[in-house]
Amino acid sequence: MNVQQSITMLPTGEAAKLRGKGPLPSQPYHDPAWWELERKAIFMRNWIHVGHVCEIPEPGSFIRREIEFARASLLIVRGRDGEVRTFHNVCTHRGTQLVEEAGGRRSQFSCPYHMWTFGADGRLLSAPDFERFHVGKDACALRQVRTEVLAGLIFINFDPEPRQSVRAFFGPIADEMERLPSASAVDFTEWTYEIPANWKTNFDNFQENYHLRFIHPRTGAQTIGEENPFGYPTHYGFSGPHRSQTLWRNPDPPEMGPTLMLGYGLAAAQAQHDGLNFPKTDFKLFPAFHIVSLPPGQQFSHTHYPLGPDRTRGVVRLYWTKKPDSASRLFAQEMGAMSIRDVLSEDRFAVQSGQRGLNSGAVEQVRFQDHEMLLRHLYETVQEQVADYLAEQEAAE
């Protein structure tokens, strides 16, 4: 299966007709005031990917996540009932953070300052001399953040009353996501990075192939050929705020080196042995989440967490449906992970350089060609959501 089944995929010409033409203001890529609007209108009101259920396999398992755009430290916990919940890592007495470690397993969380103790469900269990507070324990439970799981992926929403469930948010893509490796993953390989670039500048780099022959002449050879020298995708699709593309594959690719051949051969053999048959996908999910599934049985996600108007943290993960139980499986997994890491690392200089240019104000407009329509779609979606937010604020006054 080479194209997404959940979105109607259109050839470039037809898909381009759905998008606008002409240049657009560059301000949203560098302006601090605009960034603050995005923070409130988009990142505080949409579903954000923060982890995977395999990180919290048992009751009492937890992970801590620092979400800078929300100025929040979060505890994501699996309760005794098996439910995944997210709480602010903040004691409701006077705000002291409960946990410093990145993760672990606890039956309860105690504040180190005054020993208020909370259960894995967020309830206040005990507090010294509590009678003198003249308030009920129910009023002192940990503050919760809306949390839902889809395809093994954990999503949070800082809006107390989200407009949609996570399944409704992703629409028809949700069914496709549940058929990917992450839905049954038991392990993953991860690396993170920070880059001095706006989240859209960074994300846009992974939404177009116009740069492949210049930035990835070696690693992009599998998707570049005489028939398609820029490696342009063959089809594009849109589903609400989300996007997808079908990558072109060189029918006569250059021969891989012996290490890559060995690694891919082992991965293919193991996928066949494990009975893995996942569809090939390339989803750009709003606001800043990228999922790619590459047969045989390989999936990576790339989440962009904005840290400010010109800084972003990227978290890249490859999901595995089995833990390495042999040297060959471990080699295949590590080779796949490092190959993708190497490709993504090649983009860093270009993204940083582009952001420096945008910050200078020398370019007042950005220009998108037909094969950059995914960038235009993200730009337009951001504009729409900010406009909706401002209208809501004005109506509330």
What number is the average pLDDT over the span 159-167? 96
Identify whether residues 112 and 175 lie together within a single domain.
no
Residue 78's domain comprises 50-161
Q: How far apart are the C-alpha atoms of 50 and 189, rounded to whole Å?
A: 15
Residue 334 sits in the same domain as residue 207: yes
Helices (H) and strands (E) in the chain, counts: 10, 20
Domain boundary residue among 98, 126, 161?
Answer: 161
Q: What is the mean pLDDT of residues 291-296?
A: 78
**Contacts of residue 85, Cβ cutoff 8 Å, sequence gap at least 6:** 76, 77, 78, 79, 120, 121, 122, 144, 147
Same domain, 118 and 254: no
- Which residue among 161, 186, 206 closes a domain? 161
Number of domains in the chain: 2
Note whether 108 and 40 are same-domain residues. Answer: no
**Same structural domain for residues 186 and 62?**
no
- Both 209 and 64 in one domain: the answer is no
Reported as a pLDDT band with limits 50, 70 and 90, residue 1 is very low
Q: What is the pLDDT of residues 354-395, one digit of tens each?
A: 999 999 999 999 999 999 999 999 999 999 999 999 999 999
Reduced to 3 states, what is the DSSP secondary structure of residue 284? strand
- Binned at pLDDT 50, 70 and 90, residue 193 comes out as very high
Of 130, 161, 192, the domain-final residue: 161
CATH code of the domain containing 381: 3.90.380.10
What pLDDT is stored for residue 322 in this prediction? 86
Q: What is the pLDDT of residue 298?
A: 74
Please tell me the predicted confidence (pLDDT) of residue 338.
83
Question: Could you tell me the CATH number of the domain that includes residue 152?
Answer: 2.102.10.10
Residues 37 and 100 in one domain: no
Q: 325 and 255 share a domain?
A: yes
63 or 223, higher pLDDT: 63
More confident residue, 6 or 347: 347
Of 189 and 252, the structure prediction assigns the larger pLDDT to 189
pLDDT band at 257 (very low <50, low <70, confident <90, very high): low
Q: Do 142 and 234 have their domain in common?
A: no
- Are both 266 and 118 inside the same structural domain? no
| Percent of the chain at pLDDT exceeding 90 | 73
Pair 72, 178 in one domain: no
So what's the pLDDT on residue 2? 38
Q: What is the pLDDT of residues 164-187, one digit of tens each?
A: 999 999 999 999 999 898 999 999
Q: Mean pLDDT over residues 46-69, rounded?
A: 98
Q: pTM of this prediction?
A: 0.92
Kindly state whether residues 280 and 334 are assigned to the same domain: yes
DSSP track, 65-106: EEEGGGTEEEEEEE-TTS-EEEEES--TTT---S--SSEEE-
Per DSSP, the three-state class of 186 is coil
Cα 349 to Cα 328: distance, rounded to the nearest angstrom? 34
What is the structure's pLDDT at 222?
Answer: 73
User: For the chain, what is the mean pLDDT?
Assistant: 90
CA distance 329 to 101: 30
Instruction: Give tens-digit pLDDT for 302-358.
Output: 999 999 999 999 999 999 988 888 887 788 788 788 888 888 999 999 999 999 999
Q: What percent of the chain has pLDDT over 70?
A: 90
Residue 123 has pLDDT above 70, yes or no: yes
Q: What is the mean pLDDT of residues 278-290?
A: 88
